[in-house]
Amino acid sequence: MRAQRASKPRPYDILFAHGLSRVDPERIHHAAFRAIRGAAPLTSRAVRMPSAPVHALGLTFPHPLGLAAGFDKNAVGIDGLAALGFGHVEVGTVTGEPQPGNPRPRLFRLTADGAIVNRMGFNNDGAEVVARRLAAWRTSGRSTILGVNIGKTKVVPEEEAVRDYEKSAGLLAPHADYLVVNVSSPNTPGLRDLQAVEKLEPLLAAVRRRADEVRPDHRVPLLVKIAPDLSDDDVLAVADLATATGLDGIIATNTTISRDGLATRAADVDAVGAGGLSGRPLTSRSEDVVRLLRERVGPDLTLVGVGGITTVDDARHRLAAGADLLQAYTAFVYEGPLWPRRVVRGLVAGA
């Protein structure tokens, strides 16, 4: 077993255990995000991250660790999040049309497992609004590497999914350093069906064409985000598709619908209900998927490892498995605002 936490509680651990964990998770998320945005001018001056450059996707990342999609769905806090030490920020998931997401409550903690269950349902302001916001952000001259994650609008039928993704790509690719096609959230009905190669190939081709149309002078890297629940054969099929079609990268993995091996009482897990589970229970499977992908695609395709990365050792193991870049979200919630710099400094110290 890998060590998961320091033996001596940190101030944030005490605050989380005795305060934050007793409040509705979505309410805490919004309050914390407001604080992060408000503190950006101070944290940007206070945080001095060590340099550990990673060359991937035709870009130079200051270090491997970035923030996964889901935290900043509407691109309202990029600067504040980067100021905490994330080397890149992926916003979204953004859909072609605005949507409120699923009814509340829709975000739950499984603290015994260091995990979160969400059934948010791609709640976001929609591609048009987010595109305008990103256009304004770009004019400010910010240098944070920005990924934009796009998904399917819930009310759009599967047969019109390509058009929906094309709309988002056309609006958002002009402002993205890289673009991610999300076909792996469990919270939009039918979305994961698009991971099947026969459906995924035309979808990725359409998004690629549209991104090239709106950025004829610059090729925006395109990645796909896959689920940990794919069988090994299906993971390899996606790897083969990525190689054959010239995809720039794969993000592995999204949340899982599995509830196997949890420490949380079964009755409490059942009470939470449906949704994607993230955090420590994903560590082993997500690492295995990265390893499978790297063995199949060779050294050139960019792999982004995400899922269950909490400690410096977790990060090192994911890089050793073949990831070029790392992303996290759940550990940021459980470990607090100093967590990104702790992990990066640990990686640099052990390099």
255 in a known ligand binding site? yes
8 in a known ligand binding site? no
Q: Across residues 128-152, what is the average pLDDT?
A: 93
Length of the chain: 351
Place of tokens 């949890």: 262
154 in a known ligand binding site? no
pTM: 0.93
Band of the pLDDT at 63, cuts 50, 70, 90? Answer: very high
Strands 249-252 and 302-306: parallel
Q: In what order do the strands lie in the sheet with 276-279?
A: 107-110, 115-118, 276-279
Count the Cβ atoms, other than its own, within 10 Å of residue 265.
Answer: 11
294 in a known ligand binding site? no
Please give the biggest Cα pair distance in the chain.
55
H-only helix segments in the chain: 11-18, 25-46, 78-83, 127-139, 161-172, 197-214, 232-245, 266-272, 283-297, 312-321, 330-335, 339-349
- Phi, psi at residue 63, to the nearest 5°? -165, 175
What is 31-349's CATH superfamily?
Answer: Aldolase class I (3.20.20.70)
**Contact at 8 Å (CB) between 251 and 327?**
yes
pLDDT at residue number 18 = 53
139 in a known ligand binding site? no
Name the β-bridge partners of 178. 147
Band of the pLDDT at 140, cuts 50, 70, 90? Answer: confident
| 293: its two tokens | 């992908």
| 44: its two tokens | 């940007």
60 in a known ligand binding site? no
Percent pLDDT > 70 in the chain is 94
What are the sequence ranges of the domains in the chain? Answer: 31-349
Cα angle value 60/133/116 (rounded, 5°): 70
Count the Cβ atoms, other than its own, within 10 Å of residue 144.
Answer: 17
| 338: its two tokens | 């100093």
List for the chain the helix, strand, coil content (%; round to 5): 45, 20, 35
Does residue 297 have a pLDDT over 60? yes
pLDDT tens track for 257-285 = 999 999 999 999 999 999 999 999 999 99
Q: Which of 66-70, 157-161, 250-254 has the lowest mean pLDDT?
A: 157-161
Pairwise pLDDT comparison (13 vs 105), residue with the higher score: 105
| CA dist., res. 22 & res. 54, Å (int) | 39
| 245: its two tokens | 């079609």
* Terminal-to-terminal C-alpha distance of the chain: 22
Give the amino acid at 91. V
pLDDT at residue number 195 = 82
pLDDT tens track for 1-29 = 454 455 577 876 766 665 666 678 899 99
Does residue 138 have a pLDDT over 50? yes
Does residue 66 have a pLDDT over 70? yes
Catalytic residue among 7, 140, 168, 185: 185
Whether 231 is catalytic is no
